Amino acid sequence: MNIATEAVQIGLEWDTRTGAVTVPIYQTATFRHPGLGQSTGYDYSRSGNPTRQALESGIARLDGAARGFAYSSGMAAIANLLLLFKSGDHLIVTEDLYGGTCRLFDKVFGQFGLSFSYVDTSDTIAVAAAIQPSTKAVFVETLTNPLLKFADLPAIAALCKSNNLLLIADNTFLTPYLLRPLDLGADIAVYSATKYLAGHNDTVAGVVTVKDPQLAETVYFHQNSVGAVLGPQDAWLTTRGIKTLGIRMDRQQENAVRIARWLAAHPRITRVYYPGLANHPDHALMKRDSRGFGAMIAFEVDKHELVEQILLKTKLISFAESLGGVESLITFPEVQTHADIPPDLRARLGINDVLLRLSVGIEDCDDLIEDLRQAIEP
């Protein structure tokens, strides 16, 4: 079945008693036991809640996983995955990484004896060179935030397999609709479901999918032990959002391609990062492995003063953090989303004072282009 169809089906058959076509919101903390030593299958909502489970089993199906898990945010999901490691373990991580993930790794889990090497994971040779005797995993963003580099997952997966490393893929920017990391050899996929999965800038959520049932059991043990689970209302919103994933992604990508071309031709835009453009270094690789290029664009303007002008003058496109929703958003990574990346690394990567990141929404594309035009050429 096509993923777009599979996505619409999520939660559809959950309520066999009434036949409700959407999963009910089970707003309950606990469940009555039918008798001593008996359970309905649900005991307490941290351990399992039917609304959350509809989302968890749905996302597992979309990703071809053994099981899925839903958390209170993308960061909570990533933090739970780090519980698979112990003091002294080392992880290789995408250097062009979401700033919050970098902060969690270095400033939180660094305190507990985990160490991290940041490498360009679009360069598999660099990943291989970073392997140490204590390395236990490679953590990649499939399409990186904010510079949109694409990792060769099958090659990294082969490397991980031969070195007995777990491969964890943050697939937030692509979603299962465009790329299924587990099909390409990853062991675990993780998503900020706040973004394209929920898709409406109205909820904060995280999900994880796991290929191996035994590993999934350990992930479940950690989910239940830590308790950073997604509440039923937010699980319902995320499920509702996923139903339109295919149609939203199609429209957002269509808009992104046109906007990236328009930006590339504009005299005040000096550089455009969008993997759908044929001159992007990972364009061909992405064409091989992904059903699309996503709807995130980063671009550089010719002068820093233009950054503030664009952020203040766009009317349809909101100056706000986050991405992936139906509304277009623009942000300034150096100050907003990537402030926690060490300044020297930021400078080396190209996250500088003329770089903007645009999350393209589902609005009419001509309106979006006109909004950018009047902000750039007032």
Q: 158-187: which residues touch ligand PLP (CB under 6 A)?
A: 170, 172
Asked if 236 interacts with ligand PLP (CB under 6 A), we say no
Asked if 358 interacts with ligand PLP (CB under 6 A), we say no
Residue placing its CB nearer to ligand PLP in the complex, 31 or 105 = 105
Q: 95-124: which residues touch ligand PLP (CB under 6 A)?
A: 98, 100-101
Q: Which of 49, 45, 43, 97 is nearest to 75 (CA)?
A: 97
Distance in Å, CB of 208 to ligand PLP, minimum: 11
CB 189 within 8 A of CB 174: no
- Whether 149 is catalytic: no
Dihedral of the alpha carbons of 68, 73, 79, 81, in degrees to the nearest 10? 10
Residue placing its CB nearer to ligand PLP in the complex, 92 or 306 = 92
- Whether 170 is catalytic: yes
Asked if 194 interacts with ligand PLP (CB under 6 A), we say yes
CA 267 to chain centre: 32
- The catalytic position among 63, 89, 106, 170 is 170
Asked if 75 interacts with ligand PLP (CB under 6 A), we say yes
For ligand PLP, the nearest residue by Cβ is: 74
Asked if 234 interacts with ligand PLP (CB under 6 A), we say no
Asked if 89 interacts with ligand PLP (CB under 6 A), we say no
Exactly one of 56, 89, 96, 141 binds ligand PLP (CB under 6 A); that residue is 141
Q: Which stretch binds ligand PLP (CB under 6 A): 9-17, 93-101, 105-113, 175-183?
A: 93-101
Asked if 331 interacts with ligand PLP (CB under 6 A), we say no
Q: If binding means CB under 6 A, how many residues of this protein chain bind ligand PLP?
A: 14
Exactly one of 45, 51, 73, 80 binds ligand PLP (CB under 6 A); that residue is 73
- Whether 195 is catalytic: yes
Residue placing its CB nearer to ligand PLP in the complex, 31 or 71 = 71
Q: 247-266: which residues touch ligand PLP (CB under 6 A)?
A: none
- The catalytic position among 15, 46, 123, 202 is 46
Exactly one of 145, 209, 238, 359 binds ligand PLP (CB under 6 A); that residue is 145
Exactly one of 175, 192, 290, 331 binds ligand PLP (CB under 6 A); that residue is 192
- Whether 46 is catalytic: yes
Residue placing its CB nearer to ligand PLP in the complex, 26 or 191 = 191
Distance in Å, CB of 147 to ligand PLP, minimum: 12
Three-class SS of the chain: CCHHHHHHHCCCCCCCCCCCCCCCCCCCCECCCCCCCCCCCCCECCCCCHHHHHHHHHHHHHHCCCEEEEECCHHHHHHHHHCCCCCCCEEEEECCCCHHHHHHHHHHHHHHCCEEEEECCCCHHHHHHCCCCCEEEEEEECECCCCCCECCHHHHHHHHHHCCCEEEEECCCCHHHHCCCCCCCCCEEEEECCCCCCCCCCCCCEEEEECCHHHHHHHHHHHHHHCCECCHHHHHHHHHHHHCHHHHHHHHHHHHHHHHHHHHHCCCEEEEECCCCCCCCCHHHHHHHCCCCCCEEEEEECCHHHHHHHHHHCCCCEECCCCCCCCCEEECCCCCCCCCCCHHHHHHHCCCCCEEEEECCCCCHHHHHHHHHHHHCC
Which spans of this chain sit near ligand PLP (rule: CB under 6 A)?
Answer: 73-75, 98, 100-101, 141, 145, 170, 172, 192, 194, 204, 206
Report, as residue numbers or ranges, the catalytic residues.
46, 98, 170, 195
